[in-house]
Amino acid sequence: MLLENIRAMREIKKGEAMRRRIQKLIKKKTKDLNSKTLDQKQKKSIISSLEESIKHLNETLGNSDDFVVRKISVGKEEDINIGIFYIEGLVDTERVSDFIIEPLMFDFQEDESIHSKQDLLTVIKDSTIAVGDIQDVSDYESLVSSLASGYVIILVDGFTKGFTIGLTNENYRNVTEPSQETVVRGPKEGFTETLRTNTALIRRKINSPNLRIETRKIGEVTQTQVSIMFIKGIVNEKVLEEVRARLSKINIDGLLESNYIEELIQDKTFSPFPTIYNTERPDVVSACLLEGRVAILVNGTPFVLVVPSLFIQFFQAAEDHYQRWDFSTFIRFLRIACFFITLLAPSLFIAITTYHQEMIPTPLLISLAAQREGVPFPAFVEALLMEITFEILREGGIRMPKAVGQAISIVGTLVIGTAAVEAGFISAAMVIIVAITAIASFVIPAHNMSISIRLIRFLFMGLAASFGLFGITAAFIGLILHLCSIRSFGIPYMSPFGPFNVPDQKDSLFRLPLWRLSTRPRLVNQQNINREQSPSPKPPSKK
């Protein structure tokens, strides 16, 4: 009897679960049908009357002052009325006059062989307008979107179809040297705020027909163009599909910078460590694409996102492959050492001077005791005051005008540090520790990784003041466990160290010679593993 009751309860639970699934499926289908119906309603077809179209566009744009409407009459008998529409400032008005208005007014003549409306549109499109980027448009939603994107619209009276012409104003920032990722040897060009300029910079690096670009618009209000770049045949298809899926789920009003995308598609939200790499260098993005990664470009920002991104990638710089392999390896180890200095130097000083004085040599201990004789605060408060003061000076130097920002930050640091030591608030040793820590944080190439380490440093300082070296050890173990639990688009964040992959060690901490880098990262790339293998250099044989 008991078994029968249990079975009956299980059947009831299964039935309820099935019913809930069916209800969810019905709701989803209904929502999709409603959204499709709404889209169809919004896509209102263009009215054949030119005057009605002008009235509709003025109402849609709220009679904006920068909306330009130019009506002209063409043809032998001037019986063909054409409307030219564009947003002032977004298009090149000189090219509009030279390539659209002038050909229509002076070169266009109605051909006697034209017997239908479609023939007239074909003549205007194929024989009159001297512009390459010209597309058909048949609904007002696409028309208004093209206007906002900097296109010129042509409508002909009596027709329910028009043209969008690309004559975008080219008054943008020129390609210059990146301000954040400078190199001694290597390309000096960086991305700009123009999407097509950025894609062109990458295509100049990778002259392959397999380099693919997929562009979509994200943002209900801003309609920002977002492009995905990858190399067909090299890219990890699973990562590519995941990127497409995550971007398609974004529903936001405005998209002004690539960080909007980064926060909305990253794997781990509540983690101080970045799981998406950003750069303003075309050569770095090109190298990542050749490894099988995916680049995400956002119109209006010079910073390009690269996924998947691993922990060790944030300690590598573009210049590592432009210098000798042995020197690059040394610099990479130096960056890792600076990572540990930035993270642990203040906390180790606090722990040793507070709890473990027996670890300090006697002469040094006497010197430290003499320095701290008149200091009223414990080591933790000293370090906290100095770290917060330096962060204030660093942020103030960034926000101030460039002409005075750097001078103020340097002078402020020297004056405050010296005055604090002379006043007896801070010991000289603590000033040295904080200064070394601050300088070491600038060695890390990725700015977002440097910020993460600076934040975690305060946690280590608090645990060091509370529990000494035991607190630092526990925090470090917790940090390692957290790093090993993170993934970037399905790829373990700590690879190739965890899980350990021997072939991928050749370009992680070490940078072996280029002729040894014959394979792509195995966890990032699942197909086309082998690169073009170059033979090792050999001296000429003796005759």
Q: What amino acid is encoded at 460 in this protein?
A: F
Which of residues 411 and 314 earns the better pLDDT score? 314
What pLDDT does 521 receive?
81
CA angle 111, 113, 114 (to 5 degrees): 75
As a whole number of angstroms, the distance between CA 217 and CA 220 comes to: 9
Classify residue 471: in a domain, yes or no: yes
Q: What amino acid is encoded at 31 in this protein?
A: K
Give 107-165 pLDDT, tens digit per residue: 665 554 444 555 678 888 877 787 778 888 888 888 888 888 888 999 988 888 888 98
Number of helices (H), then strands (E), belonging to the chain: the values are 17, 12
pLDDT exceeds 80 at position 33: no
What pLDDT does 31 receive?
47
- Cis amide bond preceding 496, omega within 30: yes
Give 439-492 pLDDT, tens digit per residue: 899 899 998 899 999 999 999 999 999 999 999 999 999 999 999 999 998 889
Q: Are 296 and 329 in a shared domain? A: no
**Which among 318, 276, 346, 321 has a CA at the least distance from the CA of 517?**
321
As a whole number of angstroms, the distance between CA 501 and CA 266 comes to: 24
How big is the chain, counted in residues? 543
Q: Are 92 and 155 in a shared domain? A: yes
Q: Are 115 and 57 in a shared domain? A: yes
What pLDDT does 406 receive?
63
The residues, ordered by sequence, that sit 6+ positions from 238 with a Cβ below 8 Å of its Cβ are 490, 526
Q: Are 204 and 65 in a shared domain? A: no
What pLDDT does 423 receive?
79
pLDDT exceeds 60 at position 276: yes
Alpha-carbon dihedral angle through residues 270, 309, 439, 396, given to the nearest 10 degrees? -60
Q: Are 224 and 160 in a shared domain? A: no
Give 217-253 pLDDT, tens digit per residue: 998 888 899 999 999 988 888 899 999 999 999 999 9
Q: Which of 166, 181, 216 is the last residue of a domain?
A: 166
As a whole number of angstroms, the distance between CA 3 and CA 155 comes to: 76
What angle in degrees, to the nearest 10, is found between the helix axes of 428-441 and 402-423?
A: 150
Q: What are phi and psi of 72, to 5 degrees?
A: -135, 155
pLDDT exceeds 80 at position 543: no
Residue 507 CB neighbour total at 10 angstroms: 24
Classify residue 14: in a domain, yes or no: no
Ranked by mean pLDDT, the top range of 26-35, 170-179, 389-398, 493-502 is: 493-502
Instruction: Name the strand (E) or helix (H) holding 298.
Output: strand 294-298
**Which among 215, 176, 172, 178 has a CA at the least distance from the CA of 193?**
172
Classify residue 244: in a domain, yes or no: yes
Sign, Cα dihedral of 254, 258, 261, 264:
negative
Residues 305, 448 contacting (CB under 8 angstroms): no
Which of residues 400 and 261 earns the better pLDDT score? 261
Whole-number percent of the chain with pLDDT over 70: 85
Classify residue 314: in a domain, yes or no: no
| DSSP helix/strand/coil, 421 | helix
Q: Are 294 and 333 in a shared domain? A: no
Per-position DSSP letters for 73-94, written without gaps between them: EESTTS-EEEEEEEEBTTB-HH
Q: Are 222 and 352 in a shared domain? A: no
Ranked by mean pLDDT, the top range of 18-22, 101-105, 229-233 is: 229-233
Q: What is the DSSP letter of 226?
A: E
Quote the strand ranges of 222-293, DSSP E. 224-231, 277-279
Q: Are 283 and 405 in a shared domain? A: no
Classify residue 65: in a domain, yes or no: yes
Q: Are 115 and 224 in a shared domain? A: no
Residues 288, 295 contacting (CB under 8 angstroms): yes
Total domains in the fold of the chain: 3
Q: Are 243 and 280 in a shared domain? A: yes
Residues 165, 133 contacting (CB under 8 angstroms): yes
Q: Tokens at residue 367, please?
A: 């010197």
Q: Are 305 and 330 in a shared domain? A: no
What pLDDT does 226 receive?
94
Classify residue 292: in a domain, yes or no: yes
Classify residue 175: in a domain, yes or no: no
Give 324-353 pLDDT, tens digit per residue: 888 999 999 999 999 999 999 999 999 999
As a whole number of angstroms, the distance between CA 230 and CA 211 comes to: 6
What pLDDT does 183 receive?
85
As a whole number of angstroms, the distance between CA 474 and CA 458 comes to: 15
Q: What are phi and psi of 230, to 5 degrees?
A: -160, 165
Q: Which of 309, 342, 368 is the last residue of a domain?
A: 309
Domain span including residue 458: 325-492
Q: Which of 282, 309, 336 is the last residue of a domain?
A: 309
Q: What is the DSSP letter of 372?
A: G
Classify residue 190: in a domain, yes or no: no
Q: Are 222 and 304 in a shared domain? A: yes
Give 354-385 pLDDT, tens digit per residue: 898 888 888 888 888 888 887 888 889 989 98
